[in-house]
């Protein structure tokens, strides 16, 4: 006779712990969230094509889909000269073209760096093709802003390079993390949570593959706007639950996760598609980038659940109104992103 009320009480305590843990987590992220419009986690791209010994066609691409272009630019050895660059605005990026003259020695054993990269959250892929047909590539990061060019094949982006790119993209992609957080606040039970996360993973893997292989072409900025709208949807569902109205996400969360996961996959694809990866390298890049995304996502889930357990063990006395605050905080931030991204479109 007492088991049913006891189960309801346990469920109530679990939900309270989840919501208040989310509130603390949002507080820790607030600086990043409020400034997310000023930064971007999409990659930059530097291409050098040698048309004759020591003479290169230069393409420099920086992302603008999430705000103004970051203040970064490539630096070359003092023996090289760069022609005035011609800039054009493309969908989601600022593209600059010019030429690089480096004399008879060319770029062998030269150092290339990206100024300003250390104060961003960007990765920059550098790809160089030489006149003899050989090529190399290297991924620069905020903690590694320069590298020495070796024409003998020592420079390449290995599997870990794509894994780390995927991990960085999901961990810096606050909108994607807020969607996962919304699911964690709504879904009840470990089995249903596993089913929901699996559906989300499967869905964005499908569209990530379709987009990167060129089967489907979707403009990046509208996709980012809809991704923000998906977070708003979860926030609304969570807010309605406080009034006793449980929507589709509470009844069948895996369906909602799968549908919106298809959209999030196109958002993830924006990172890989901007790299200009050669067709022969796409399968490897897709596999390891997706593994990185999943690793970062699972790490976030594990950290959040561990955070919930830690706060519950502290037995902190929380005001009753704090239970509802995460839904409104998530909804407010996601609505801001949606409006901002729509403003970029129009």
Q: What's the number of domains the chain is made of?
A: 2
Q: Is residue 71 part of a domain?
A: yes
146 shares its domain with 181: no
**Residue 296, pLDDT score:** 87
Evaluate whether 113 touches 144 at the Cβ level (below 8 Å). Answer: no
Judged on CB neighbours under 10 Å (0-12, 13-18, 19+), 104 is: exposed
27 shares its domain with 146: no
CB atoms within 10 A of CB 223: 23
112 shares its domain with 170: no
Domain that holds residue 60: 44-156
φ/ψ (deg, to 5) at 217: -115, 120
Pairing assessment for the beta strands 73-75 and 55-63 based on DSSP bridges: unpaired
16 shares its domain with 135: no
Pairing assessment for the beta strands 44-52 and 86-90 based on DSSP bridges: unpaired
92 shares its domain with 232: no
**Residue 264, pLDDT score:** 86
150 shares its domain with 177: no
CB atoms within 10 A of CB 201: 19
* CA–CA gap between residue 222 and residue 247 (Å, rounded): 26
- Of 131, 156, 181, the one marking the end of a domain is 156
146 shares its domain with 265: no
* CA–CA gap between residue 197 and residue 201 (Å, rounded): 6
pLDDT truncated to tens, each residue of the chain (346 aa)? 444 444 443 444 555 555 555 544 554 454 444 444 433 456 788 989 989 888 999 999 887 755 677 788 999 998 899 999 898 877 667 889 999 999 877 888 889 999 998 888 778 888 888 888 777 778 888 888 998 887 655 555 567 777 877 887 777 777 888 888 888 888 888 888 888 988 998 898 898 888 878 788 777 778 888 888 999 999 899 888 888 888 888 889 999 999 999 988 887 776 666 666 666 777 877 888 888 888 888 888 888 887 777 766 666 666 666 677 788 888 888 888 888 888 776 6
Helices 190-212/282-314 angle, 10° precision: 150
Predicted TM-score (pTM) of this structure: 0.70
**Residue 7, pLDDT score:** 45
Say which CATH number the domain at 80 has.
2.60.40
Closest to 15 in 3D by CA, of 330, 326, 249: 326
Give 187-190 contacts, CB < 8 A, sequence gap 24+: 187/253, 188/11, 188/14
**Residue 56, pLDDT score:** 93
Closest to 339 in 3D by CA, of 37, 73, 116: 37
**Residue 257, pLDDT score:** 92
49 shares its domain with 26: no
Q: Is residue 48 part of a domain?
A: yes
* CA–CA gap between residue 327 and residue 335 (Å, rounded): 12
Q: Is residue 39 part of a domain?
A: no
**Residue 314, pLDDT score:** 64
- Of 109, 128, 156, the one marking the end of a domain is 156
207 shares its domain with 151: no
Q: Is residue 25 part of a domain?
A: yes
* CA–CA gap between residue 230 and residue 18 (Å, rounded): 20
- Of 137, 156, 175, the one marking the end of a domain is 156
* CA–CA gap between residue 320 and residue 317 (Å, rounded): 9
Judged on CB neighbours under 10 Å (0-12, 13-18, 19+), 302 is: exposed
């Amino acid at each position: 006779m007492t088991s049913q009320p006891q189960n309801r009480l346990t469920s109530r305590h679990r939900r309270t712990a989840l919501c208040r843990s989310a509130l603390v987590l949002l507080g820790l992220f607030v600086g990043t969230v409020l400034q997310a419009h000023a930064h971007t986690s999409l990659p930059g791209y530097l291409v050098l094509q040698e048309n004759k010994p020591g003479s290169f066609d230069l393409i420099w691409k920086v992302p603008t889909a999430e705000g103004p272009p970051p203040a970064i630019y490539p630096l070359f050895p003092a023996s090289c000269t760069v022609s005035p660059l011609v800039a054009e605005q493309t969908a989601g990026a600022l593209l600059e073209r010019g030429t690089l003259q480096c004399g008879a020695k060319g770029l062998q054993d030269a150092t290339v760096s990206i100024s300003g990269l250390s104060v961003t959250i960007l990765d920059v892929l550098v790809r160089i093709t030489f006149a003899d047909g050989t090529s190399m590539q290297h991924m620069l990061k905020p903690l590694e802003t320069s590298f020495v060019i070796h024409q003998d094949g020592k420079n390449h982006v290995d599997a870990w390079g794509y894994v780390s790119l995927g991990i960085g993209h999901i961990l810096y992609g606050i909108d994607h993390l807020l969607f996962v957080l919304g699911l964690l606040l709504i879904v009840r039970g470990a089995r249903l949570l596993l089913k929901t996360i699996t559906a989300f993973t499967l869905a964005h893997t499908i569209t990530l593959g379709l987009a990167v292989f060129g089967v489907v072409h979707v403009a990046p900025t509208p996709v980012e706007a809809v991704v923000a709208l998906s977070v708003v949807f979860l926030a609304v569902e969570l807010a309605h639950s406080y009034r006793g109205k449980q929507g589709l996400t509470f009844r069948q969360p895996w369906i909602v996760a799968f549908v919106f996961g298809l959209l999030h996959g196109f958002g993830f694809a924006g990172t890989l598609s901007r790299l200009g990866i050669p067709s022969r390298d796409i399968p490897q890049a897709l596999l390891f980038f997706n593994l990185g995304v999943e690793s970062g996502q699972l790490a976030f889930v594990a950290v959040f659940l561990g955070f919930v357990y830690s706060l519950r063990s502290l037995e902190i006395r929380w005001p009753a109104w704090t239970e509802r605050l995460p839904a409104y905080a998530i909804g407010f931030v996601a609505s801001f992103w949606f409006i901002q991204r729509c403003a970029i479109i129009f």
